[in-house]
């Protein structure tokens, strides 16, 4: 898990430019699935056929990560940018970022700003060390996207780095693909694109797959750091069975199935009520005539920062829980 | 009619958890339609096939939609004294929460009170501040151990506020938004039974409207209607609300105009009202409405949609106030409109 996660989180993959992540995952799983293809949106869809008696299940984890898109290059070579997905000015301030071609830069801001709390992305810029517009243009073009440059670090069971949202979910799906041996269900593992900009890959892949059940894997916030916003989720206390977020209210049948499978196998789990934020199941459950859907969430501190932190036990228990759900009948 | 409304508002039907309400509604629909269906999200479809035998190609499929779900609260955490922390499902106004009576739907139903600091203990500046929902808690009168045995994160919390009859034809209670319109669906079916009509009519009690018209998204996709009619509530006049945002409580149902609604069909609807002497008011919605009409209109290849609204005072509180006469009047108007859809009904859809 550690090696896989370090590999996946180190790859460049902002929304719309997920190819490196897709290729890496394809390499990891191709020998464990019956079919694999990439659709026109760039979603990677891998199928494990069931024995024909079960349900058609769509599993989703998103490959994309948030990023900074260059909107202007000024005469002195400073890059102005806009956000791809939910980028907080405070999370990117004085971070090192990297472009697809490996060019790195530092994010800073107009220091004449009197109150730092008024910091907005339009008062910020990326400095790639270029002395002029001409020099900068040799390295970066308008429309290029930078992501955090923050290789994964770890201590004991804790992993931290950028893009745990949602490469951690991708890693859980990859390990689940390897772990699931006999399933009565037809399993569509979808590594989705463009979640961070509105669940867009999940929407189209759910439409084309037309599943009976949808389950997505994504990170959720925790409430276990000093004076954090209240949230009854702790890092390391187990994967979370989502009850609701702002994109969906999990179908009671799917939620209860997750709880039942966790309890009968003694897998630790938590219940998640997320007040803001959404994930791929939000799009999946409203596809066509409706797809009963749920979410297994991976507790994660500092979501959307360069140092998202997850726990190894939560990841491994998420694999166990998901495997157990998939290997059994789904009502 | 009042009895059904009274019974219905006491059945918990929180967005995403409508099964119990759906079962009751399906039972009510059953005698008045040819078939009742319930989908996996508990949208309930009362289907009437029409009275006149028609070529299948030349009769419209009309979908009526009224949402059955209600706004509520959900357990977010339990503190170490056994007080329940909560969040909202749908648009709950935090100003009206303190000292409300609620039911916590745990392993068993627990009666609870939303805790409040007595005036004696408030600092002078506190009395003019709104307490935030994140700082509130529910007291179910049990010690922490017993609370935790019975209640978990994610359990639902509904308001206690049964239907009360006021003067004249006015009633109040919780969840009249939009159970009154679900009752109206039943009344439309009854009215249709007195008329000759050609349309195939799907009366859909939808789910999850309060969290983003989600039941309408999937039920409209499933139904593939030619015409959509959403029924919901709008704001009735009160002394402190702007006149242009509200409607009279005794001047008929509100027919809504704006880009979300089909102009030609809306005019026809108003003409039918005039022809039969049914009073109604006009509402204006310059943007996509917050109602099921929002999603019905843009389902599949697009659905010409009408929006009918019942004036309601104190929306999203536990004392939502309604004129019962509007349910009957609206039902009759819709039934007469449906009966007016005859050969050439497609022409009504042109701009």
CATH number assigned to the domain with residue range A67-148, chosen from the 4 options 2.40.30.40, 3.20.20.140, 3.40.50.920, 3.90.1150.10: 2.40.30.40
Per-residue pLDDT, B348: 87
List, for residues A156-197, the tens digit of each pLDDT value.
Answer: 999 999 999 999 999 999 999 999 999 999 999 999 999 999
The closest of A43, A95, A326 to A212, measured between CA atoms, is A326
Helices (H) and strands (E) in chain A, counts: 9, 17
**Which residues of chain A are within 8 Å of residue B219 when distances are taken between CB atoms?**
290
Contact (CB<8Å) A289/B19: no
Q: Using CB atoms, which residue from A223, A273, A288 is nearest to B154? A: A273
**CA distance, residue A222 to nearest chain B CA (Å):** 13
**CATH number of the domain at B72-159, please?**
2.40.30.40
CA dihedral A253, A254, A257, A258 (to 10 degrees): -150
Please provide the average confidence, as pLDDT, over all residues in chain A: 97
Distance, CA of A130 to CA of A120 (rounded, Å): 23
Buried b (16+ CB within 10 A) or exposed e, B174-195: bbbbbbbbbbbbbbbbbbbeee
Catalytic residue among A18, A175, A195, A272: A195
- Degrees, nearest 5: CA angle A301-A305-A308: 35
Which pLDDT value is given to residue B125?
A: 86
- Contacts A271 to B, Cβ<8 Å: 152-154
DSSP lists the bridge partners of residue B157 as B73, B104
A135 burial via Cβ count (<10 Å: 0-12, 13-18, 19+): middle
Query: Hey, are the CB atoms on A244 and B19 less than 8 Å from each other?
Result: no
Instruction: Answer whether A107's CB lies under 8 Å from A93's CB.
Output: yes
Identify the pLDDT of residue B127: 80
Cβ-nearest to A271 among B89, B153, B208: B153
- Do B2-70+174-349 and B72-159 fold alike per CATH? no
| Residue in A290, A297, A330 to test binding to B, most B beta-carbons within 10 Å | A290
Of A243, A249, A275, the CB nearest to B15: A249
Q: What is the pLDDT of residue B351?
A: 74
A106 reaches B (C-beta below 8 A): no
Q: Which residues of chain A are under the pLDDT cut of 50? A: none
Q: Do domains A2-65+162-327 and A67-148 have the same CATH topology?
A: no
CB contact under 8 A, B134 and A272: no
A252 has a chain B CB within 8 A of its CB: yes
Q: Does A265 touch chain B (CB under 8 A)?
A: no
pLDDT digit string, tens, across residues A88-108: 999 999 999 999 999 999 999
Chain B contact set for A290 (CB, 8 A):
39-41, 217-219, 221-222
Q: Where are the domains of chain B?
A: 2-70+174-349, 72-159
Element (H, E) at A170: helix A164-179
**Chain A residues close to B77, C-beta within 8 Å:** 223, 230-232
Which of chain B's residues have a Cβ under 8 Å away from the Cβ of A231? 76-77
Is A195 a catalytic site residue? yes
The sheet carrying A270-273 orders its strands as: A35-38, A44-48, A186-192, A56-62, A213-220, A293-299, A240-244, A270-273
- Residue in chain A lying closest to B90 (CA): A246
Helix H or strand E encompassing B257? strand B253-257
> pLDDT tens string for chain B (351 positions)?
999 999 999 999 999 999 999 999 999 999 999 999 999 999 999 999 988 765 556 899 999 999 999 999 999 999 999 999 999 999 999 999 999 999 999 999 999 999 998 888 888 888 888 999 999 999 999 999 999 999 999 999 999 999 999 999 999 999 999 999 999 999 999 999 999 999 999 999 999 999 999 999 999 999 999 999 999 999 999 999 998 899 999 999 999 999 999 999 999 999 999 999 999 999 999 999 999 999 999 999 999 999 999 999 999 999 999 999 999 999 999 999 999 998 889 988 887
Residues 129-168 of B with CB under 8 A from A: 134, 152-154
Phi and psi (nearest 5°) for A240?
-105, 135
Catalytic residue among B70, B200, B209, B210: B209
B111 has a chain A CB within 8 A of its CB: no
Would you call B214 and A252 a contact, using CB atoms and an 8 Å cutoff?
no
pLDDT (tens digit, 9 = 90+) per residue, A235-255?
Answer: 999 999 999 999 999 999 999
pLDDT at A67: 98
Is residue B74 less than 8 Å (CB to CB) from chain A?
yes
One of 3.20.20.140, 3.40.630.10, 3.90.1150.10, 3.40.50.20 is the CATH number of A2-65+162-327, namely 3.40.630.10
Q: How much helix, strand and coil, in percent to the nearest 5, is found in chain A? A: 30, 30, 40
Interface-testing mutation among A289, A291, A292, A294, with chain B (most B C-beta atoms within 10 A): A289
Peptide bond into B331 cis (omega under 30): no
Chain B residues in contact with A253 by the CB 8 A cut-off are 40
Radius of gyration of chain A from its Cα atoms, rounded to whole angstroms: 20
CB A60 within 8 A of CB A39: no
Q: Is A230 on the interface with B (CB under 8 A)?
A: yes
Interface A-B: count of C-beta contacts within 8 A? 67
| Residue A113: per-residue pLDDT | 86
Angle between helix B176-192 and helix B325-339 axes, rounded to 10 deg = 50
Distance CA A189, CA A183 (A): 13
Domain boundaries, chain A: 2-65+162-327, 67-148
Residues B2-70+174-349, CATH architecture: 3-Layer(aba) Sandwich (3.40)
């Amino acid at each position: 898990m550690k090696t896989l996660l370090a590999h996946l989180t180190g790859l460049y993959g902002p929304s719309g430019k997920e190819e490196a992540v897709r290729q890496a995952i394809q390499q990891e799983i191709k020998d464990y699935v019956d079919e694999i293809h990439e659709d026109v949106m760039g979603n990677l869809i891998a199928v494990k056929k069931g024995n024909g008696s079960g349900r058609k299940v769509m599993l989703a984890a998103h490959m994309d990560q948030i990023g900074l898109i260059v909107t202007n290059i000024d005469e002195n070579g400073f890059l102005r940018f806009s956000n791809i997905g939910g980028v907080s000015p405070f999370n990117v301030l004085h971070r090192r970022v990297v472009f697809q071609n490996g060019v790195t830069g530092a994010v800073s801001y107009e220091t004449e700003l009197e109150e730092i709390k008024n910091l907005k992305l339009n008062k910020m810029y990326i400095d790639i060390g270029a002395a002029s517009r001409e020099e900068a243009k040799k390295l970066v073009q308008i429309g290029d996207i930078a992501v955090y440059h923050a290789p994964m670090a770890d201590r004991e069971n804790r992993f931290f780095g950028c893009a745990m949202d949602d490469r951690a979910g991708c890693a859980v799906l990859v390990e689940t693909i390897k772990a699931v041996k006999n399933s009565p269900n037809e399993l569509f593992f979808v590594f989705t694109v463009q979640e961070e900009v509105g669940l867009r890959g999940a929407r189209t892949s759910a439409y084309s797959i037309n599943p009976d059940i949808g389950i997505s894997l994504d990170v959720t916030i925790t409430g276990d750091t000093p004076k954090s916003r209240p949230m009854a989720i702790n890092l390391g206390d187990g994967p979370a069975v989502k009850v609701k977020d702002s994109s969906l209210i999990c179908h009671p049948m799917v939620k209860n199935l997750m709880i039942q499978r966790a309890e009968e196998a003694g897998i630790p789990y938590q219940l998640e009520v997320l007040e803001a934020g959404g994930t791929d199941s939000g799009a999946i459950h409203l596809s066509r005539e409706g797809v009963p859907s749920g979410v297994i969430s991976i507790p994660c501190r500092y979501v959307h920062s360069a140092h998202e932190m997850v726990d190894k036990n939560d990841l491994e228990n998420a694999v166990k829980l998901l495997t157990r759900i998939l290997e059994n009948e789904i009502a | 009619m009042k009895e059904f409304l009274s019974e219905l508002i006491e059945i918990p039907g929180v967005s995403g958890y409508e099964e119990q309400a759906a079962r009751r509604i399906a039972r009510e629909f059953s005698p008045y339609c040819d078939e009742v269906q319930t989908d996996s999200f508990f949208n309930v479809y009362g289907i009437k096939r029409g009275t006149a035998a028609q070529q299948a190609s030349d009769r419209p499929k009309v979908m009526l939609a009224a949402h059955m779900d209600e706004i509520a609260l959900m357990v977010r955490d339990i503190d170490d004294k056994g007080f329940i922390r909560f969040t909202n499902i749908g648009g709950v106004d935090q100003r009206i929460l303190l000292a409300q009576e609620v039911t916590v739907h745990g392993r068993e139903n627990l009666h609870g009170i939303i805790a409040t600091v007595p005036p004696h203990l408030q600092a002078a500046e506190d009395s003019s501040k709104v307490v935030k929902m994140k700082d509130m808690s529910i007291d179910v009168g049990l010690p922490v151990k017993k609370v935790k045995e019975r209640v978990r994160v994610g359990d639902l919390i509904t308001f206690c506020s049964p239907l009360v009859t006021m003067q004249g034809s006015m009633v109040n209670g919780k969840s009249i938004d939009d159970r009154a319109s679900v009752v109206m669906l039943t009344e439309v079916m009854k009215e249709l039974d007195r008329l000759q009509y050609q349309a195939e009519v799907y009366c859909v009690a939808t789910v999850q409207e309060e969290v983003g018209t989600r039941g309408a998204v999937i039920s409209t996709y499933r139904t593939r209607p030619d015409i959509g009619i959403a029924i919901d509530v709008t704001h009735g006049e009160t002394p402190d609300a702007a006149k242009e945002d509200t409607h009279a409580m005794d001047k008929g149902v509100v027919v809504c105009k704006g880009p979300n609604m089909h102009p030609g069909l809306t005019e026809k609807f108003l003409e039918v009202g005039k022809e039969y002497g049914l009073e109604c008011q006009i509402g204006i919605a310059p943007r996509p409405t917050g109602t099921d009409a929002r999603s019905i209109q843009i389902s599949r290849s697009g659905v010409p949609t009408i929006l009918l609204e019942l004036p309601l005072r104190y929306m999203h509180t536990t004392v939502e106030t309604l004129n019962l006469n509007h349910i009957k009047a609206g039902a009759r108007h819709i039934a007469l409109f449906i009966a007016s859809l005859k050969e050439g009904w497609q022409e009504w859809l042109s701009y």
